[in-house]
Amino acid sequence: MRAMAHLIEESEAAGVGTELPRLIKAMADRAIAAGHGKEQYPVLIEEFGKPGAR
């Protein structure tokens, strides 16, 4: 998920908090690892409900 990694990098460079983009990237990474790599962002709703998502 290169776009989210880029957002994190740019946020850090600008001194902006990175908590939210890091959370979204972590959930996307888990979704990809679970075999959902070709699905769209709505699959993150399922990941958000799993333990350890927050």
**Annotated domain spans of the chain:** 2-48
Q: What is the pLDDT of residue 52?
A: 64
Query: What is the DSSP code (8-state) at residue 52?
Result: T
Q: What is the pLDDT of residue 26?
A: 86
- In angstroms, the CA 30 to CA 48 distance is 10
The C-alpha angle 43, 49, 50, rounded to 5 degrees, equals: 100
> With contact defined as beta carbons under 8 Å apart, do 44 and 31 qualify?
yes
Sign of the Cα torsion 15, 21, 4, 32 reads positive
Q: What is the pLDDT of residue 39?
A: 67
pLDDT in single tens digits along all 54 residues of the chain: 688 899 999 999 999 999 999 988 888 888 788 787 676 667 777 777 777 655
Regarding pTM above 0.85, the answer is: no
Q: What is the pLDDT of residue 53?
A: 54
- In angstroms, the CA 2 to CA 17 distance is 18
